[in-house]
């Protein structure tokens, strides 16, 4: 079945450092890929998405490119801020064949940014 | 717009007891999901509703878990009897349509269940 593997956390960075969180996936077809973020005390929210190979999703300075050849969707940001401290989840979805497009999530990577 | 509302926020019960969680999705959202998030893992889908019909409940442990969405709006998730391994955060999400690609999921803050 489908699966998502993210780099283990926690990740601690200084403010203005470069961020990369690795994500690779296994899927039977052509999934859509997502990054979700969970800020402390809040619910999960969509950060960005990409629906086909070579698409680049971007939002709030974060970017991720759908790489079919390496089955990857790594999250990057050039200069992190303290407010980016959160848990980041990589996820995919594809049609299960029964009309269900369930999201399959990775385990999450906790990011802490220190001033 | 108001977000997805869930209650209670926290619940502590003993094993073999029963518990129920409630979810009120965003107004107009036809699709409703229940996810289970065990500590240190990503959320796992338990059940998906489209209006008041079940689309996918393949990962719902039906011997102890049940869910309903009467009138296609609010939903309740019940566990009876609870086991220690049910300790987790139960997340409700809703979307306009059933495809996460075209219709982003909006998540509630979840209910944290502890089974002792």
Share of chain B above pLDDT 90, in %: 78
Which residues of A lie inside 8 Å of B (Cβ-Cβ)?
4, 32, 34, 41-46, 49, 51, 89, 91, 93, 96, 98-108
**pLDDT at residue A97 in the model:** 55
Does residue A10 have a cis bond before it (omega within 30 degrees)? yes
Using a CB-CB cut-off of 8 Å, the residues of chain B touching A1 are none
- What does the alpha-carbon distance between residue B6 and residue A5 come to, in Å, rounded to a whole number? 29
C-alpha distance across the termini of chain B, in Å: 37
Residue B75: CB atoms within 10 A of its CB come to 23
Chain A contact present for B110, CB below 8 A? yes
CB contact under 8 A, A44 and B3: no
CB contact under 8 A, B101 and A93: yes
pLDDT digits (tens, 9 = 90+) for B11-27: 999 999 999 999 999 99
| Nearest C-alpha in B relative to A102 | B45
pLDDT digits (tens, 9 = 90+) for B69-94: 988 899 999 999 999 999 999 999 99
CB contact under 8 A, B48 and A100: yes
Q: What torsion do the CA atoms of A24, A106, B105, B44 make, to the nearest 10 degrees?
A: 140
As beta bridge partners, residue A112 has A12
The two three-digit tokens of residue A34, written as one number = 């997502």
- Please tell me which of the candidates A46, A98, A105 has its beta carbon nearest to residue B42: A105
- Please tell me which of the candidates B43, B101, B110 has its beta carbon nearest to residue A105: B43
- Please tell me which of the candidates A32, A51, A100 has its beta carbon nearest to residue B55: A100
- What does the alpha-carbon distance between residue A108 and residue B75 come to, in Å, rounded to a whole number? 27
CB contact under 8 A, B100 and A44: no
Most confident stretch, B5-14, B47-56, B96-105: B5-14
CB contact under 8 A, B4 and A91: no
pLDDT digits (tens, 9 = 90+) for A27-67: 988 899 999 999 988 889 999 999 989 999 999 999 999 99
Using a CB-CB cut-off of 8 Å, the residues of chain A touching B101 are 32, 49, 51, 93, 101
- Please tell me which of the candidates B48, B50, B110 has its beta carbon nearest to residue A43: B110
Of B83, B77, B78, B109, nearest to B13 (Cα)?
A: B83
Q: What torsion do the CA atoms of A63, A68, A72, A75 make, to the nearest 10 degrees?
A: 0
CB contact under 8 A, A105 and B93: no
Whole-Å CA distances, A62 to A81, A92, B81: 12, 18, 43
Q: How far is CA B99 from the centre of its chain?
A: 18
* Alpha helices, H only, chain A: none
Average predicted confidence (pLDDT) for chain B = 92
């Amino acid at each position: 079945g489908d699966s998502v593997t993210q780099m283990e956390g926690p990740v601690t960075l200084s403010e203005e450092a470069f961020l990369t969180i690795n994500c690779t996936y296994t899927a039977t077809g052509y999934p859509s890929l997502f990054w979700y973020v969970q800020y402390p005390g809040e619910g999960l929210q969509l950060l960005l998405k990409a629906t086909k190979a070579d698409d680049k999703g971007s939002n709030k300075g974060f970017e991720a490119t759908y790489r079919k050849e390496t089955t990857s969707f790594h999250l990057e940001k050039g200069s992190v801020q303290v407010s980016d401290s959160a848990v980041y989840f990589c996820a995919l979805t594809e049609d299960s064949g029964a009309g269900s497009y369930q999201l399959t999530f990775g385990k999450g990577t906790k990011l802490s940014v220190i001033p | 717009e108001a977000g997805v509302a869930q209650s209670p926020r926290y619940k502590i019960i003993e094993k073999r007891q029963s518990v129920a969680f409630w979810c009120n999705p965003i107004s107009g959202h036809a699709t409703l999901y229940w996810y289970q998030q065990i500590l240190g893992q990503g959320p796992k889908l338990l059940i998906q509703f489209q209006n008041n019909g079940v689309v996918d409940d393949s990962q719902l442990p039906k011997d102890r878990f049940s869910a309903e969405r009467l009138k296609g709006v609010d939903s309740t998730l019940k566990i009876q009897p609870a086991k220690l391994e049910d300790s987790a955060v139960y997340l409700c999400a809703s979307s306009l349509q059933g495809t996460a690609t075209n219709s982003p999921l909006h998540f509630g803050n979840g209910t944290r269940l502890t089974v002792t």
